[in-house]
Structure 1
Amino acid sequence: MTRRILGLVGIGLIGGFLSGLFGIGGGILMVPLLILILKVDQRHASALSLAGVLPAAIVGSITYAASGTVDYLAAAFIAVGGIVGALIGTRLLRTIPLGWLRWMFVVLLLLVAVRMFLELPTAAHQGVTVVSALLLVALGLVVGVASGLFGIGGGVLIVPALVSLFGFDPVIAKGTSLLSMIPTSISGTINNWRGKLVKPIDGLVMGSAAALASFPGALLAHVIPARLSNVLFAILVVAAALQLAWRAWKLRAKG
Protein backbone atom coordinates (compact mmCIF):
# COMPACT_ATOMS: atom_id res chain seq x y z
CA MET A 1 0.00 0.00 0.00
CA THR A 2 2.79 2.40 0.95
CA ARG A 3 4.61 1.56 -2.28
CA ARG A 4 1.48 2.34 -4.30
CA ILE A 5 0.99 5.70 -2.55
CA LEU A 6 4.64 6.60 -3.15
CA GLY A 7 4.21 5.60 -6.78
CA LEU A 8 1.14 7.82 -7.15
CA VAL A 9 2.95 10.75 -5.52
CA GLY A 10 5.98 10.23 -7.77
CA ILE A 11 3.86 10.06 -10.92
CA GLY A 12 1.94 13.14 -9.78
CA LEU A 13 5.15 15.07 -9.23
CA ILE A 14 6.58 14.09 -12.62
CA GLY A 15 3.33 14.64 -14.50
CA GLY A 16 2.62 17.92 -12.71
CA PHE A 17 6.09 19.32 -13.35
CA LEU A 18 5.93 18.43 -17.04
CA SER A 19 2.38 19.78 -17.21
CA GLY A 20 3.52 23.13 -15.82
CA LEU A 21 6.58 23.15 -18.05
CA PHE A 22 4.69 22.50 -21.28
CA GLY A 23 1.37 24.14 -20.40
CA ILE A 24 -0.61 20.97 -21.13
CA GLY A 25 -3.00 19.08 -18.84
CA GLY A 26 -1.24 16.42 -16.80
CA GLY A 27 -3.59 13.62 -17.88
CA ILE A 28 -2.00 13.26 -21.29
CA LEU A 29 1.29 12.55 -19.48
CA MET A 30 0.13 10.75 -16.33
CA VAL A 31 -1.77 8.00 -18.15
CA PRO A 32 1.42 6.67 -19.83
CA LEU A 33 3.29 6.98 -16.51
CA LEU A 34 0.62 4.99 -14.68
CA ILE A 35 0.73 2.27 -17.31
CA LEU A 36 4.51 2.07 -17.60
CA ILE A 37 5.48 2.59 -13.93
CA LEU A 38 2.59 1.23 -11.84
CA LYS A 39 1.67 -1.38 -14.48
CA VAL A 40 -2.06 -0.63 -14.31
CA ASP A 41 -4.17 -1.34 -17.38
CA GLN A 42 -5.44 1.34 -19.75
CA ARG A 43 -8.92 1.33 -18.23
CA HIS A 44 -7.82 1.97 -14.64
CA ALA A 45 -5.12 4.43 -15.72
CA SER A 46 -7.69 6.58 -17.54
CA ALA A 47 -10.07 6.52 -14.56
CA LEU A 48 -7.31 7.40 -12.11
CA SER A 49 -5.96 10.18 -14.32
CA LEU A 50 -9.41 11.78 -14.64
CA ALA A 51 -9.71 11.81 -10.83
CA GLY A 52 -6.25 13.35 -10.62
CA VAL A 53 -7.29 16.19 -12.92
CA LEU A 54 -9.55 17.67 -10.23
CA PRO A 55 -6.99 19.11 -7.72
CA ALA A 56 -4.86 20.61 -10.48
CA ALA A 57 -7.93 22.10 -12.19
CA ILE A 58 -9.09 23.69 -8.93
CA VAL A 59 -5.68 25.19 -8.12
CA GLY A 60 -5.13 26.36 -11.68
CA SER A 61 -8.56 27.93 -12.10
CA ILE A 62 -8.20 29.83 -8.80
CA THR A 63 -4.87 31.21 -10.04
CA TYR A 64 -6.37 32.34 -13.36
CA ALA A 65 -9.51 33.72 -11.66
CA ALA A 66 -7.36 35.82 -9.32
CA SER A 67 -5.83 37.53 -12.35
CA GLY A 68 -9.21 37.98 -14.05
CA THR A 69 -8.45 35.65 -16.96
CA VAL A 70 -11.49 33.35 -16.85
CA ASP A 71 -14.67 33.62 -18.95
CA TYR A 72 -17.20 32.21 -16.47
CA LEU A 73 -20.12 32.11 -18.90
CA ALA A 74 -18.17 30.20 -21.54
CA ALA A 75 -16.84 27.82 -18.86
CA ALA A 76 -20.40 27.15 -17.69
CA PHE A 77 -21.59 26.21 -21.19
CA ILE A 78 -18.56 23.96 -21.76
CA ALA A 79 -19.16 22.33 -18.36
CA VAL A 80 -22.79 21.52 -19.26
CA GLY A 81 -21.62 19.50 -22.25
CA GLY A 82 -18.61 18.18 -20.33
CA ILE A 83 -20.70 16.67 -17.53
CA VAL A 84 -22.86 14.74 -19.99
CA GLY A 85 -19.86 13.82 -22.14
CA ALA A 86 -17.92 12.50 -19.15
CA LEU A 87 -20.82 10.19 -18.26
CA ILE A 88 -20.81 8.88 -21.83
CA GLY A 89 -17.01 8.55 -21.95
CA THR A 90 -16.75 6.70 -18.63
CA ARG A 91 -19.51 4.31 -19.70
CA LEU A 92 -17.58 3.61 -22.92
CA LEU A 93 -14.45 3.14 -20.83
CA ARG A 94 -16.07 0.15 -19.11
CA THR A 95 -17.32 -1.44 -22.33
CA ILE A 96 -14.69 -0.91 -25.04
CA PRO A 97 -12.17 -3.80 -25.18
CA LEU A 98 -8.80 -3.05 -23.57
CA GLY A 99 -6.94 -3.70 -26.82
CA TRP A 100 -8.94 -1.01 -28.59
CA LEU A 101 -8.42 1.42 -25.70
CA ARG A 102 -4.65 0.96 -25.83
CA TRP A 103 -4.40 1.70 -29.55
CA MET A 104 -6.92 4.56 -29.41
CA PHE A 105 -4.81 6.25 -26.74
CA VAL A 106 -1.64 5.77 -28.80
CA VAL A 107 -3.36 7.46 -31.76
CA LEU A 108 -4.50 10.31 -29.47
CA LEU A 109 -0.91 10.86 -28.30
CA LEU A 110 0.36 11.01 -31.88
CA LEU A 111 -2.37 13.51 -32.83
CA VAL A 112 -1.42 15.68 -29.86
CA ALA A 113 2.24 15.57 -30.93
CA VAL A 114 1.30 16.68 -34.45
CA ARG A 115 -0.88 19.45 -33.00
CA MET A 116 2.12 20.94 -31.17
CA PHE A 117 3.79 21.72 -34.51
CA LEU A 118 0.77 23.60 -35.89
CA GLU A 119 0.26 27.34 -35.65
CA LEU A 120 -3.26 28.19 -34.46
CA PRO A 121 -5.29 30.70 -36.48
CA THR A 122 -7.07 33.30 -34.36
CA ALA A 123 -10.69 34.25 -34.88
CA ALA A 124 -12.30 37.52 -33.77
CA HIS A 125 -13.96 37.16 -30.38
CA GLN A 126 -17.65 38.14 -30.64
CA GLY A 127 -18.75 37.31 -27.09
CA VAL A 128 -21.13 34.51 -26.14
CA THR A 129 -24.19 34.41 -28.44
CA VAL A 130 -26.94 31.80 -28.72
CA VAL A 131 -25.08 30.06 -31.54
CA SER A 132 -21.70 30.17 -29.82
CA ALA A 133 -23.31 28.94 -26.57
CA LEU A 134 -24.62 25.86 -28.37
CA LEU A 135 -21.20 25.32 -29.96
CA LEU A 136 -19.53 25.62 -26.53
CA VAL A 137 -21.88 22.97 -25.14
CA ALA A 138 -21.03 20.75 -28.13
CA LEU A 139 -17.32 21.34 -27.50
CA GLY A 140 -17.80 20.38 -23.86
CA LEU A 141 -19.63 17.22 -24.92
CA VAL A 142 -16.77 16.12 -27.18
CA VAL A 143 -14.15 16.98 -24.56
CA GLY A 144 -16.16 15.24 -21.84
CA VAL A 145 -16.30 12.02 -23.85
CA ALA A 146 -12.54 12.20 -24.50
CA SER A 147 -11.85 12.95 -20.83
CA GLY A 148 -13.97 10.07 -19.59
CA LEU A 149 -12.53 7.67 -22.13
CA PHE A 150 -8.86 8.63 -21.97
CA GLY A 151 -8.49 10.39 -18.59
CA ILE A 152 -7.21 13.63 -20.12
CA GLY A 153 -7.92 17.06 -18.67
CA GLY A 154 -9.27 18.39 -21.93
CA GLY A 155 -7.09 21.49 -22.19
CA VAL A 156 -5.30 20.04 -25.19
CA LEU A 157 -8.67 20.15 -26.99
CA ILE A 158 -10.48 23.09 -25.36
CA VAL A 159 -7.71 25.70 -25.55
CA PRO A 160 -7.04 25.37 -29.32
CA ALA A 161 -10.78 25.38 -30.02
CA LEU A 162 -11.42 28.51 -27.94
CA VAL A 163 -8.53 30.34 -29.60
CA SER A 164 -9.09 29.32 -33.23
CA LEU A 165 -12.90 29.00 -33.33
CA PHE A 166 -14.12 31.47 -30.72
CA GLY A 167 -11.36 34.09 -30.78
CA PHE A 168 -10.34 33.80 -27.13
CA ASP A 169 -7.06 35.18 -25.85
CA PRO A 170 -4.82 32.12 -25.16
CA VAL A 171 -4.45 32.97 -21.46
CA ILE A 172 -8.22 33.37 -20.97
CA ALA A 173 -8.72 30.14 -22.95
CA LYS A 174 -6.48 28.26 -20.49
CA GLY A 175 -8.24 29.69 -17.42
CA THR A 176 -11.67 28.96 -18.89
CA SER A 177 -10.62 25.43 -19.80
CA LEU A 178 -9.40 24.67 -16.27
CA LEU A 179 -12.61 25.94 -14.65
CA SER A 180 -14.84 23.97 -17.03
CA MET A 181 -12.94 20.76 -16.26
CA ILE A 182 -13.83 20.80 -12.54
CA PRO A 183 -17.44 19.59 -12.93
CA THR A 184 -16.40 17.35 -15.83
CA SER A 185 -13.80 15.60 -13.66
CA ILE A 186 -16.24 15.25 -10.77
CA SER A 187 -18.95 13.80 -13.01
CA GLY A 188 -16.63 11.27 -14.66
CA THR A 189 -14.91 10.26 -11.41
CA ILE A 190 -18.22 9.59 -9.64
CA ASN A 191 -19.25 7.35 -12.53
CA ASN A 192 -15.88 5.56 -12.50
CA TRP A 193 -16.11 5.11 -8.71
CA ARG A 194 -19.55 3.54 -9.08
CA GLY A 195 -18.09 1.27 -11.74
CA LYS A 196 -15.28 0.25 -9.33
CA LEU A 197 -12.60 1.59 -11.66
CA VAL A 198 -11.05 4.10 -9.26
CA LYS A 199 -10.68 5.04 -5.61
CA PRO A 200 -11.12 8.84 -5.45
CA ILE A 201 -8.48 9.09 -2.70
CA ASP A 202 -5.87 7.74 -5.14
CA GLY A 203 -6.73 10.49 -7.60
CA LEU A 204 -6.59 13.08 -4.82
CA VAL A 205 -3.10 11.94 -3.78
CA MET A 206 -1.73 11.94 -7.32
CA GLY A 207 -3.53 15.13 -8.34
CA SER A 208 -2.40 17.06 -5.26
CA ALA A 209 1.22 16.11 -5.94
CA ALA A 210 0.76 17.19 -9.57
CA ALA A 211 -0.74 20.52 -8.53
CA LEU A 212 2.25 21.27 -6.27
CA ALA A 213 4.82 20.25 -8.88
CA SER A 214 3.19 22.32 -11.62
CA PHE A 215 4.42 25.59 -10.05
CA PRO A 216 8.20 25.03 -10.54
CA GLY A 217 7.44 23.63 -13.99
CA ALA A 218 5.54 26.80 -14.89
CA LEU A 219 8.42 28.95 -13.64
CA LEU A 220 10.88 27.05 -15.84
CA ALA A 221 8.48 27.42 -18.78
CA HIS A 222 9.13 31.17 -18.82
CA VAL A 223 12.81 30.50 -19.55
CA ILE A 224 12.34 28.10 -22.47
CA PRO A 225 11.25 29.56 -25.84
CA ALA A 226 7.67 28.57 -26.73
CA ARG A 227 8.65 26.88 -30.00
CA LEU A 228 11.37 24.79 -28.33
CA SER A 229 8.89 23.85 -25.59
CA ASN A 230 6.41 22.59 -28.20
CA VAL A 231 9.08 20.51 -29.92
CA LEU A 232 10.32 18.98 -26.66
CA PHE A 233 6.77 18.15 -25.61
CA ALA A 234 6.02 16.56 -28.99
CA ILE A 235 9.16 14.40 -28.69
CA LEU A 236 8.14 13.34 -25.18
CA VAL A 237 4.62 12.42 -26.30
CA VAL A 238 5.88 10.46 -29.32
CA ALA A 239 8.30 8.55 -27.06
CA ALA A 240 5.41 7.69 -24.72
CA ALA A 241 3.26 6.63 -27.68
CA LEU A 242 6.00 4.31 -28.99
CA GLN A 243 6.47 2.78 -25.52
CA LEU A 244 2.75 2.15 -25.17
CA ALA A 245 2.47 0.83 -28.74
CA TRP A 246 5.30 -1.64 -28.07
CA ARG A 247 3.63 -2.74 -24.82
CA ALA A 248 0.25 -3.11 -26.57
CA TRP A 249 1.87 -5.17 -29.33
CA LYS A 250 3.50 -7.52 -26.80
CA LEU A 251 0.23 -7.96 -24.92
CA ARG A 252 -1.52 -8.70 -28.21
CA ALA A 253 1.12 -11.27 -29.09
CA LYS A 254 0.50 -12.98 -25.73
CA GLY A 255 -3.14 -13.25 -26.66
Structure 2
Amino acid sequence: MDLLAFVMNLVLGALLGTLGGLFGIGGGLIAIPALGVLFGLDQQLAQGTALVMVVPNVLLALWRYHQRNRIDPRYATLLATSSFGFAWLASLFAVRVDSESMRLAFVGFLLALAAYNFARMFMAKAAHASAELRQPWPWLGALGGVAGTAGGLFGVGGAVIATPVLTSVFGTSQVMAQGLSLALAAPSTAVTLATYGLHHHVNWAMGLPLALGGLLSISWGVRLAHALPERVLRSLFCVFLLLCAVMLSLK
Protein backbone atom coordinates (compact mmCIF):
# COMPACT_ATOMS: atom_id res chain seq x y z
CA MET A 1 0.00 0.00 0.00
CA ASP A 2 1.42 3.42 -0.98
CA LEU A 3 1.47 6.45 1.34
CA LEU A 4 -1.53 8.16 -0.26
CA ALA A 5 -3.71 5.08 0.11
CA PHE A 6 -2.59 4.71 3.73
CA VAL A 7 -3.49 8.34 4.51
CA MET A 8 -6.87 8.03 2.77
CA ASN A 9 -7.72 4.92 4.77
CA LEU A 10 -6.53 6.64 7.95
CA VAL A 11 -8.84 9.63 7.33
CA LEU A 12 -11.74 7.34 6.45
CA GLY A 13 -11.11 5.40 9.65
CA ALA A 14 -11.19 8.64 11.66
CA LEU A 15 -14.57 9.56 10.20
CA LEU A 16 -15.98 6.11 10.80
CA GLY A 17 -14.58 6.02 14.32
CA THR A 18 -16.31 9.28 15.19
CA LEU A 19 -19.63 7.85 13.99
CA GLY A 20 -18.98 4.63 15.86
CA GLY A 21 -18.41 6.50 19.12
CA LEU A 22 -21.46 8.68 18.56
CA PHE A 23 -23.85 5.77 18.05
CA GLY A 24 -22.09 3.11 20.14
CA ILE A 25 -21.62 0.71 17.21
CA GLY A 26 -17.88 0.77 16.51
CA GLY A 27 -18.26 2.25 13.01
CA GLY A 28 -18.89 -1.07 11.27
CA LEU A 29 -22.33 -0.31 9.86
CA ILE A 30 -21.05 2.57 7.78
CA ALA A 31 -17.67 0.96 7.05
CA ILE A 32 -19.21 -2.06 5.34
CA PRO A 33 -21.20 -0.15 2.69
CA ALA A 34 -18.33 2.32 2.31
CA LEU A 35 -15.84 -0.45 1.56
CA GLY A 36 -18.28 -2.11 -0.82
CA VAL A 37 -19.26 1.04 -2.72
CA LEU A 38 -15.98 2.99 -2.70
CA PHE A 39 -13.49 0.12 -3.01
CA GLY A 40 -15.53 -2.61 -4.70
CA LEU A 41 -15.01 -5.25 -2.02
CA ASP A 42 -17.46 -8.15 -2.00
CA GLN A 43 -19.79 -8.39 0.99
CA GLN A 44 -17.85 -10.86 3.13
CA LEU A 45 -14.52 -9.15 2.44
CA ALA A 46 -16.04 -5.76 3.32
CA GLN A 47 -17.47 -7.18 6.55
CA GLY A 48 -14.20 -8.85 7.54
CA THR A 49 -12.09 -5.80 6.74
CA ALA A 50 -14.47 -3.52 8.63
CA LEU A 51 -14.09 -5.76 11.66
CA VAL A 52 -10.36 -4.96 11.83
CA MET A 53 -11.44 -1.41 12.65
CA VAL A 54 -14.52 -2.34 14.67
CA VAL A 55 -12.86 -4.58 17.28
CA PRO A 56 -10.42 -2.02 18.75
CA ASN A 57 -12.96 0.79 18.32
CA VAL A 58 -15.56 -1.17 20.31
CA LEU A 59 -13.08 -1.85 23.10
CA LEU A 60 -12.02 1.80 23.34
CA ALA A 61 -15.59 3.11 23.14
CA LEU A 62 -16.66 0.63 25.83
CA TRP A 63 -13.95 1.95 28.14
CA ARG A 64 -14.95 5.56 27.44
CA TYR A 65 -18.64 4.88 28.05
CA HIS A 66 -17.83 3.07 31.30
CA GLN A 67 -15.76 6.05 32.49
CA ARG A 68 -18.72 8.40 32.02
CA ASN A 69 -21.58 6.05 32.93
CA ARG A 70 -20.73 2.96 34.96
CA ILE A 71 -21.89 -0.23 33.23
CA ASP A 72 -23.39 -2.85 35.55
CA PRO A 73 -21.03 -5.87 35.37
CA ARG A 74 -23.93 -8.36 35.73
CA TYR A 75 -25.69 -6.98 32.67
CA ALA A 76 -22.49 -6.63 30.63
CA THR A 77 -21.23 -10.14 31.45
CA LEU A 78 -24.51 -11.83 30.56
CA LEU A 79 -24.82 -9.94 27.27
CA ALA A 80 -21.18 -10.65 26.36
CA THR A 81 -21.18 -14.38 27.13
CA SER A 82 -24.50 -15.11 25.44
CA SER A 83 -23.53 -13.19 22.31
CA PHE A 84 -20.13 -14.87 21.97
CA GLY A 85 -21.29 -18.40 21.18
CA PHE A 86 -24.08 -17.36 18.82
CA ALA A 87 -21.75 -14.98 16.96
CA TRP A 88 -19.20 -17.74 16.43
CA LEU A 89 -21.78 -20.17 15.00
CA ALA A 90 -23.35 -17.48 12.78
CA SER A 91 -19.96 -16.36 11.44
CA LEU A 92 -19.13 -19.97 10.42
CA PHE A 93 -22.32 -19.94 8.35
CA ALA A 94 -21.75 -16.43 6.93
CA VAL A 95 -18.36 -17.18 5.35
CA ARG A 96 -19.99 -19.94 3.25
CA VAL A 97 -22.88 -17.87 1.81
CA ASP A 98 -22.47 -16.35 -1.67
CA SER A 99 -21.57 -12.66 -1.65
CA GLU A 100 -24.62 -11.31 -3.51
CA SER A 101 -27.09 -13.07 -1.21
CA MET A 102 -25.21 -11.75 1.79
CA ARG A 103 -25.29 -8.18 0.44
CA LEU A 104 -29.05 -8.30 -0.14
CA ALA A 105 -29.60 -9.79 3.32
CA PHE A 106 -27.52 -7.00 4.83
CA VAL A 107 -29.56 -4.32 3.03
CA GLY A 108 -32.76 -5.92 4.31
CA PHE A 109 -31.31 -6.01 7.82
CA LEU A 110 -30.55 -2.29 7.73
CA LEU A 111 -33.97 -1.37 6.33
CA ALA A 112 -35.71 -3.43 9.02
CA LEU A 113 -33.70 -1.69 11.72
CA ALA A 114 -34.44 1.74 10.28
CA ALA A 115 -38.17 0.97 10.05
CA TYR A 116 -38.24 -0.29 13.63
CA ASN A 117 -36.46 2.78 14.97
CA PHE A 118 -38.66 5.22 13.04
CA ALA A 119 -41.78 3.41 14.25
CA ARG A 120 -40.59 3.65 17.84
CA MET A 121 -40.02 7.38 17.54
CA PHE A 122 -43.23 8.44 15.84
CA MET A 123 -45.84 5.77 16.63
CA ALA A 124 -45.26 4.76 20.22
CA LYS A 125 -45.16 6.71 23.42
CA ALA A 126 -41.70 6.69 24.91
CA ALA A 127 -41.47 5.32 28.43
CA HIS A 128 -39.46 7.07 31.10
CA ALA A 129 -35.82 5.95 30.92
CA SER A 130 -34.28 4.56 34.09
CA ALA A 131 -31.04 3.12 35.44
CA GLU A 132 -33.09 0.06 36.54
CA LEU A 133 -34.24 -2.49 33.97
CA ARG A 134 -37.96 -2.74 33.28
CA GLN A 135 -37.65 -6.50 32.63
CA PRO A 136 -35.83 -9.15 34.72
CA TRP A 137 -32.14 -8.91 33.90
CA PRO A 138 -31.69 -12.64 32.96
CA TRP A 139 -33.71 -11.84 29.81
CA LEU A 140 -30.60 -10.02 28.62
CA GLY A 141 -29.22 -13.47 27.78
CA ALA A 142 -31.86 -13.90 25.06
CA LEU A 143 -31.08 -10.46 23.69
CA GLY A 144 -27.37 -11.33 23.63
CA GLY A 145 -28.09 -14.49 21.64
CA VAL A 146 -30.17 -12.71 18.99
CA ALA A 147 -27.77 -9.78 18.71
CA GLY A 148 -24.74 -12.08 18.62
CA THR A 149 -26.27 -14.04 15.75
CA ALA A 150 -26.77 -10.82 13.76
CA GLY A 151 -23.21 -9.77 14.57
CA GLY A 152 -21.79 -13.07 13.36
CA LEU A 153 -23.78 -12.91 10.13
CA PHE A 154 -23.20 -9.27 9.25
CA GLY A 155 -20.04 -8.30 11.14
CA VAL A 156 -21.62 -5.42 13.07
CA GLY A 157 -21.53 -6.87 16.59
CA GLY A 158 -25.26 -6.86 17.20
CA ALA A 159 -25.14 -3.44 18.87
CA VAL A 160 -27.62 -2.00 16.39
CA ILE A 161 -30.18 -4.57 17.52
CA ALA A 162 -29.38 -4.37 21.21
CA THR A 163 -29.52 -0.57 21.50
CA PRO A 164 -33.19 -0.04 20.49
CA VAL A 165 -34.34 -3.16 22.37
CA LEU A 166 -32.62 -2.00 25.55
CA THR A 167 -34.31 1.40 25.35
CA SER A 168 -37.80 0.19 24.36
CA VAL A 169 -38.16 -3.19 26.09
CA PHE A 170 -35.81 -2.82 29.05
CA GLY A 171 -36.41 0.92 29.58
CA THR A 172 -32.80 2.12 29.69
CA SER A 173 -31.60 5.53 28.56
CA GLN A 174 -30.01 5.79 25.11
CA VAL A 175 -26.54 6.32 26.55
CA MET A 176 -26.84 3.35 28.93
CA ALA A 177 -28.13 1.18 26.07
CA GLN A 178 -25.18 2.13 23.88
CA GLY A 179 -22.72 1.29 26.66
CA LEU A 180 -24.29 -2.14 27.26
CA SER A 181 -24.42 -2.76 23.51
CA LEU A 182 -20.68 -2.17 23.33
CA ALA A 183 -20.17 -4.70 26.13
CA LEU A 184 -22.18 -7.19 24.08
CA ALA A 185 -20.30 -6.38 20.88
CA ALA A 186 -16.74 -6.72 22.22
CA PRO A 187 -16.47 -10.55 22.35
CA SER A 188 -18.79 -11.23 19.42
CA THR A 189 -16.89 -8.94 17.05
CA ALA A 190 -13.58 -10.48 18.14
CA VAL A 191 -14.67 -14.07 17.43
CA THR A 192 -16.30 -13.01 14.16
CA LEU A 193 -13.08 -11.30 13.01
CA ALA A 194 -11.12 -14.47 13.85
CA THR A 195 -13.53 -16.58 11.79
CA TYR A 196 -13.46 -14.23 8.79
CA GLY A 197 -9.67 -13.99 8.98
CA LEU A 198 -9.21 -17.77 9.02
CA HIS A 199 -11.40 -18.00 5.91
CA HIS A 200 -9.43 -15.25 4.08
CA HIS A 201 -12.21 -12.65 4.13
CA VAL A 202 -10.08 -9.82 5.59
CA ASN A 203 -7.95 -7.21 3.77
CA TRP A 204 -5.48 -6.48 6.58
CA ALA A 205 -3.53 -3.82 4.62
CA MET A 206 -6.71 -1.76 4.32
CA GLY A 207 -8.17 -2.61 7.70
CA LEU A 208 -5.20 -1.65 9.88
CA PRO A 209 -5.05 2.07 8.89
CA LEU A 210 -8.84 2.19 9.23
CA ALA A 211 -8.44 0.84 12.76
CA LEU A 212 -5.74 3.38 13.60
CA GLY A 213 -7.87 6.28 12.34
CA GLY A 214 -10.85 5.00 14.31
CA LEU A 215 -8.87 4.73 17.53
CA LEU A 216 -7.69 8.33 17.15
CA SER A 217 -11.23 9.69 16.75
CA ILE A 218 -13.75 7.47 18.49
CA SER A 219 -13.48 9.41 21.77
CA TRP A 220 -14.79 12.52 19.95
CA GLY A 221 -17.95 10.63 19.05
CA VAL A 222 -18.44 9.39 22.62
CA ARG A 223 -18.13 12.95 23.97
CA LEU A 224 -20.61 14.20 21.39
CA ALA A 225 -23.07 11.42 22.30
CA HIS A 226 -23.11 12.60 25.90
CA ALA A 227 -23.57 16.24 24.84
CA LEU A 228 -26.56 15.72 22.53
CA PRO A 229 -30.20 15.61 23.74
CA GLU A 230 -31.59 12.08 23.84
CA ARG A 231 -34.23 12.65 21.14
CA VAL A 232 -31.68 14.18 18.78
CA LEU A 233 -29.34 11.21 19.28
CA ARG A 234 -32.15 8.74 18.51
CA SER A 235 -33.18 10.70 15.41
CA LEU A 236 -29.63 10.76 14.08
CA PHE A 237 -29.34 7.01 14.68
CA CYS A 238 -32.45 6.37 12.54
CA VAL A 239 -31.19 8.53 9.68
CA PHE A 240 -27.79 6.85 9.92
CA LEU A 241 -29.31 3.37 9.46
CA LEU A 242 -31.32 4.46 6.42
CA LEU A 243 -28.30 6.14 4.82
CA CYS A 244 -26.24 2.96 5.19
CA ALA A 245 -28.96 0.89 3.51
CA VAL A 246 -29.21 3.33 0.60
CA MET A 247 -25.44 3.35 0.08
CA LEU A 248 -25.23 -0.42 -0.12
CA SER A 249 -28.31 -0.68 -2.36
CA LEU A 250 -26.59 1.58 -4.90
CA LYS A 251 -23.63 -0.77 -5.31
TM-score normalized with structure 1 length: 0.81
1:185 aligns with 2:189: yes
Following superposition, the deviation at residue 72 of structure 1 comes to: 1.2
How many angstroms apart in 2 are the aligned matches of 1:246 and 1:146?
22
Contact 2:49-2:206 within 8 A present in 1 as well: yes
**Superimposed CA distance per residue, residues 88-133 of structure 1 (whole angstroms, 9 cap, x where no aligned partner):** 221121122212111111112212322342235468735996xx42
Following superposition, the deviation at residue 228 of structure 1 comes to: 4.9
Say which is worse superposed, 119-128 or 147-156, in terms of deviation: 119-128
- Quick one: which amino acid aligns to residue 78 of structure 1? L
Of 150, 155, 158, which residue of structure 2 is paired with 1:154?
158
User: 1:54 — aligned with what?
Assistant: 55
User: 2:245 — aligned with what?
Assistant: 241
Contact 2:48-2:201 within 8 A present in 1 as well: yes
1:216 aligns with 2:217: no
* Cα separation, partners in 2 of 1:227 and 1:162, compared to 1, 3 Å: closer
1:29 aligns with 2:33: no
Contact 2:84-2:148 within 8 A present in 1 as well: yes
Say which is worse superposed, 116-125 or 99-108, in terms of deviation: 116-125
Return 5+ residue gaps in structure 1 as ranges: 248-255
* Equivalences for residues 96-175 of structure 1 within 5 A: 96-117=97-118, 118-119=120-121, 121=127, 125=132, 132-133=137-138, 135-175=139-179
1:5 aligns with 2:6: yes
User: 2:74 — aligned with what?
Assistant: 73
Contact 1:158-1:177 within 8 A present in 2 as well: yes
* Cα separation, partners in 2 of 1:27 and 1:202, compared to 1, 3 Å: same
**Superimposed CA distance per residue, residues 8-65 of structure 1 (whole angstroms, 9 cap, x where no aligned partner):** 3233122122334455541111111111122111111111223322111111121222
How many angstroms apart in 2 are the aligned matches of 1:4 and 1:112?
33
Contact 1:113-1:237 within 8 A present in 2 as well: yes
**Superimposed CA distance per residue, residues 215-237 of structure 1 (whole angstroms, 9 cap, x where no aligned partner):** 33445556765545544554454
* Cα separation, partners in 2 of 1:176 and 1:226, compared to 1, 3 Å: closer
Q: Could you say what the CA RMSD is over the residues aligned between the two structures, in angstroms?
A: 2.9
Of 189, 193, 200, which residue of structure 2 is paired with 1:196?
200
How many angstroms apart in 2 are the aligned matches of 1:52 and 1:122?
35
Contact 1:21-1:221 within 8 A present in 2 as well: yes
Aligned sequence identity (%): 30
How many angstroms apart in 1 are the aligned matches of 2:240 and 2:194?
31
1:109 alignment partner, SS class: helix
* Cα separation, partners in 2 of 1:58 and 1:166, compared to 1, 3 Å: same
TM-score normalized with structure 2 length: 0.82
